[in-house]
Amino acid sequence: MNEKNFQEKIEKEQKIEPKDWMPDGYRNHLIRQMSQHAHSEVIGMQPEGNWITRAPSLRAKMILLAKVQDEAGHGLYLYSACETLGISREELVQQLHDEKAKYSSIFNYPTLTWADMGAIGWLVDGAAIVNQVSLQRTSYGPYSRAMIKICKEESFHQRQGYEIMAEMAKGTAEQKAMAQDALNRFWWPSIMMFGPQDSESPRSGNAMKWKIKRQTNDELRQNFIDKTVGQAEVIGLTIPDPDLKWNEERGHYDFGEMDWDEFWNVVNGNGPCNQQRLDHHKKAHEDGAWVRKAAREYAKKNTIN
Amino acid sequence: MDNLFIYILRIADCSLILGQRMSEWCSKGPTLEEDIALSNIGLDLFGQANGFYEYASKIDGNKSADELAFKRNEREFFNYQISEQKNGHFGTTMVRNFLRDAFKYLFYNELSKSKDETLAALASKSIKEVKYHLRHSSNWIIRLGDGTNESNEKVQKSLDFLWQFTGEFFEMDEIDNKMLQEGIGVDNKKLKNEWNKIIIDTLNKGKLNKPEDGYMASGSKKGIHTEHLGFLLAEMQYLPRAYPDAKW
Ligand SMILES: [Fe+2]
Ligand SMILES: [Fe+2]
Ligand SMILES: [Fe+2]
């Protein structure tokens, strides 16, 4: 009975709210997906945080610091949304540290030059937007609302990243080479952000039925590629895919084969920075333990106004 | 060089260098909330630095704000040495900021009455931010001081170390005196009483001891610094220096 009501609600495009009955599978799927999303926002602070102290102008410094700060805010917001499902932030962070919860593999790639700040904003935030716009229609109310709120800022990030790339592409020969190199390194990992091909993705079935996911990985990936190709052309950079070609019949770009061995390798912990990212997060957490403890003790004794 | 120009640079440098230190905290804060707060302070400081550099650049007529920030050498920076001190642990950062915030709050209050309208306006804008920074750092001094034994000891140790850098706040050199005479600058010496009151009040609440005035570091007004500044600048200035023809 419960299950039937639940599915009817979903069919009618009504949002599921925290107090509503929901199947365990639905709850668990959401916890996994939303916490992975939250962890991604937070771990994603590192590759860009890596360049804040080296940003080349006062303006660039402020934009990048504000951007990374936004990502922290997204993490916070998503942890709160996830907590509505009956799990605490502490537990979620513990799962991350125990490597039971994942985060987006894209953040396991190193940021080697300033152009990577452009590439990440343009491509990584760009891909995130495609995914998150789709998730605005997700069936779980708190998640949907989080996506609506977050997407506005992500669009901002995407434009700022693109601006860095555009500026460098029309700069000195060295700058243009740096921009092209960043595009070369981040292109394939970015389009792999949408996950395995639909034929390989084991959990899509229920997620689509429950309308947690509204579009398949391949649909989202195609959408991202279609809107990004023209942006690269405008600034005179070349997407590193010789098979990329407009297909009149499909009304979409055809593109080359992704390196799925690499994809699974990074997902399974063997990317260039997996260990580093996790260690960094753990260290910050451990270094802060005495501070959090002192704050708790103080709060027990007093109140600060 | 123009007295006013140097006077403004000293203020701008102080904000930039501490901003740089604050931005080092990004993704390393003790909580996500605190990470955001530390970035916020960094952003305020960069904004202040930018405002003062723009003004200095106008007076200089030669170098842009970015050039002032990214193309000067260690001996040409005039920030108080406390601003360049390393973050250390969270308590050290909070002590450093607290000692400085209390001073800057009083300083900007006075500067907002400057005859120089641009300086007065920049100071007024900064007061609101520094007031928040001071509240943030004082609250942490109290919490950590009156938290656990461990946190109290840690913060007391940071305080004992950083105290030597507070003497610079109240120094007046020829430039300061000229600026004061012209009704543009602040009489830093006069701020010491008020500063002491803020410090003592907060340290008492945090069950911390105010260190004795002993050896006091000095020299930033002449571009003399601790060894930390060189590394901070090397990192911060690397791109504009490595690619002098590039615009970003
Ligand atoms: Fe985000
Ligand atoms: Fe996101
Ligand atoms: Fe973003």
| Structure confidence by residue, pLDDT tens digits, B181-196 | 999 999 999 999 999 9
* CA distance linking residue A193 with residue B80, whole number of Å: 46
Residue B45 forms part of a structural domain: yes
Chain-chain contact of B39 with A75 (C-beta, under 8 angstroms): no
For residue A135, what are its two tokens? Answer: 């998730």
**CATH assignment of the domain containing B208:** 1.20.1260.10
Q: Taking 60 as the threshold, does the pLDDT of residue A265 lie above it? A: yes
| Residue A230: predicted pLDDT | 97
Closest in B65, B147, B245 to A297, CB measured: B147
Distance from CA of A48 to the nearest CA of B (A): 10
- In order of A155, B89, B120, the CA distances from A55 in angstroms are 21, 24, 29
Range of the domain at B33: 3-242
Restricting to A residues 203-262, those with a Cβ less than 8 Å away from any Cβ of B are none
Does A203 score more than 70 pLDDT? no
pLDDT tens by residue, A206-250: 899 999 999 999 999 999 999 999 999 999 999 999 999 999 999
Count A/B contacts: CB-CB distance under 8 Å.
Answer: 149
Q: How confident is the model at residue A269 (pLDDT cuts 50, 70, 90)?
A: confident
What are the strands, taking DSSP E only, across chain A? 245-247, 252-254
The pLDDT of residue A65 is 98
Give per-residue pLDDT as tens, A34-91: 999 999 999 999 999 999 999 999 999 999 999 999 999 999 999 999 999 999 999 9
Number of domains in chain B: 1
Q: Are A111 and A45 in contact (CB under 8 A)?
A: no
Tell me which residue has tokens 């260190």. Answer: B211
Check B29 against A167: CB less than 8 A apart. Answer: no
Collect all residues of chain A within an 8 Å Cβ-Cβ radius of residue B139. Answer: 304
More confident residue, A191 or A303: A191
Main-chain phi, psi angles of A43, to 5 degrees: -65, -30
Q: Which of residues 15-34 of B touch A (CB under 8 A)?
A: 16, 19-20, 23-24, 26-34
The residues near A298 (Cβ < 8 Å, ≥ 6 apart) are A304, B142, B143, B144, B146, B147
Residue B202 placed within a domain: yes
Tell me the C-alpha distance between B136 and B98, whole Å.
Answer: 8
Q: What is the ipTM of this complex?
A: 0.97
Does residue B248 sit within a domain?
no
The whole-model pTM stands at 0.96
Tell me the per-residue pLDDT of A10-37, one tens digit each, with 9 for 90 and over.
999 999 999 999 999 999 999 999 999 9
A292: chain B residues, CB-CB within 8 Å: 30-31
Q: Per-residue pLDDT for chain B (248 aa), expressed as one digit of tens each?
A: 699 999 999 999 999 999 999 999 999 999 999 999 999 999 999 999 999 999 999 999 899 999 999 999 999 999 999 999 999 999 999 999 999 999 999 999 999 999 999 999 999 999 999 999 999 999 999 999 999 999 999 999 999 999 999 999 999 999 999 999 999 999 999 999 999 999 999 999 999 999 999 999 999 999 999 999 999 999 999 999 999 999 99
A283-297: per-residue pLDDT in tens? 999 999 999 999 999
Is the per-residue pLDDT at A305 higher than 60? Answer: no
B92 touches chain A (CB under 8 A): no
Q: Quick one: which of B30, B135, B11 has its CA closest to B92?
A: B30
Tell me the per-residue pLDDT of A91-135, one tens digit each, with 9 for 90 and over. 999 999 999 999 999 999 999 999 999 999 999 999 999 999 999
Question: The tokens 């928040």 sit on which residue?
Answer: B132
- Helices and strands, counts by H and E, chain A: 14, 2
What average pLDDT does range A137-148 have in this prediction?
97
- CB B118, CB B56: distance < 8 Å: no
Residue B79 CA to residue B68 CA, distance in Å, equals 13
What gap in Å lies between CA B19 and CA B93, rounded to an integer? 12
What is the token pair recorded at A204? 């899509």
B197: CB partners within 8 A, 6+ apart:
none
Q: Which two tokens stand for residue A276?
A: 């580093």
Q: At residue A74, what is the residue type?
A: H
Handedness of CA A226, A234, A134, A195 (dihedral sign): positive
Q: Does A107 touch chain B (CB under 8 A)?
A: no
Task: Give the per-residue pLDDT at A200.
Answer: 81
User: What pLDDT, on the 0 to 100 scale, is given for residue B135?
Assistant: 98
Residue with tokens 């106008």: B58
